[in-house]
């Protein structure tokens, strides 16, 4: 049973995100971290976690913990790398190509990018998805007593899933994208990096390069 203070379509995927954290991971970045709920969970798996959000208010209200640092920053301005980078319901807030290019740069060699995203529904190609509505409603009903979360900046997704797949295939070769319930897709990509290929321990050195953690 979850001990989370609330549940919503984003927190629903936190277990999936945590499953993507590689064993070697020491440093984690959560972009669009909101109140830091996922960042605090990542701290159970990593020594140092940075959460960034462009909404100063939601960051200011977040509880502080020793291993989680939350910062009022646009993730595109970061210049460090991390063993795991997570983005839940945030990628669609920036132009897709810009966002994926930045995320690729932020993942350390051997590190993993885990995205839970939203796409713009297309009436023709997404028509079969509506068959999933009863299942989505059933999951919602099961969580109705804990449904909620902090007030956050929202925006409608601009890209269809086909566009997201095409751009990801170009920028993040090997990325696995799956359409999921709750109007979400998941994207997992591992940075193949030179260090893995040469047998060096993945992620080594990335924590020390960080000045913010």
Binding site for ligand SAM (CB under 6 A): 10, 31-34, 52-55, 58, 74-76, 88-90, 93-94, 149, 152-154
Provide, rounded to whole angstroms, the least separation between the CB of residue 39 and ligand SAM: 9
Considering the complex, state which of residue 23 and residue 77 has its C-beta at the smaller distance from ligand SAM. 77
CB of residue 166 vs ligand SAM: minimum separation in angstroms? 22
Least Å distance, CB 112 to ligand SAM, is 17
Q: Phi and psi (nearest 5°) for 20?
A: -85, -10
- Cβ proximity to ligand SAM, 31 vs 161, nearer residue: 31
Closest CB to ligand SAM among residues 180, 200: 180
Letter string b/e over residues 115-154, b meaning 16 or more CB atoms within 10 A of that residue's CB: bbbbbeeeeeebeebeeeeeeeeeeeeebeeeeebbebee
CB-CB contact of 126 with 161 (8 Å)? yes
Determine the residue with CB nearest ligand SAM: 32
Q: What is the closest distance, in whole angstroms, from the C-beta atom of residue 60 to ligand SAM in the complex?
A: 12
In angstroms, the CA 19 to CA 23 distance is 10
Query: Sign of dihedral through CA atoms 184, 65, 100, 81?
Result: negative
Which residue number, 71 or 197, has a Cβ lying nearer to ligand SAM? Answer: 71
Closest distance to ligand SAM from the beta carbon of 125 (Å): 24
Specify the 3-state DSSP secondary structure of 190. Answer: strand
For ligand SAM, the closer CB: 181 or 196: 181
In terms of Cα–Cα distance, which of 74, 76, 119, 81 is closest to 98?
76
């Amino acid at each position: 049973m979850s001990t989370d203070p609330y549940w919503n379509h984003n927190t629903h995927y936190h277990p999936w995100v945590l499953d993507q954290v590689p064993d070697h991971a020491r440093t984690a970045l959560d972009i669009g971290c909101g109140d830091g709920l996922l960042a605090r969970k990542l701290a159970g798996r990593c020594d140092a976690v940075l959460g960034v959000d462009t909404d100063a208010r939601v960051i200011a209200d977040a509880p502080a913990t020793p291993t989680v640092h939350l910062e009022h920053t646009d993730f595109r301005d970061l210049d460090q790398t991390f063993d795991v980078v997570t983005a839940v319901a945030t990628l669609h807030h920036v132009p897709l190509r810009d966002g994926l290019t930045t995320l690729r740069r932020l993942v350390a060699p051997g590190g993993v990018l885990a995205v839970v995203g939203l796409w713009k529904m297309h009436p023709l190609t997404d028509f079969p998805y509506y068959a999933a509505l009863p299942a989505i409603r059933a999951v919602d009903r099961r969580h109705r007593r804990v449904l909620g979360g902090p007030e956050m900046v929202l925006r409608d997704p601009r890209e269809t899933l086909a566009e997201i797949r095409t751009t990801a295939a170009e920028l993040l070769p090997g990325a696995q994208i799956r359409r999921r319930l709750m109007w979400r897709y998941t994207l997992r990509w591992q940075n193949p990096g030179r260090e893995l290929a040469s047998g060096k321990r993945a992620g080594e050195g990335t924590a020390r390069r960080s000045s913010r953690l």
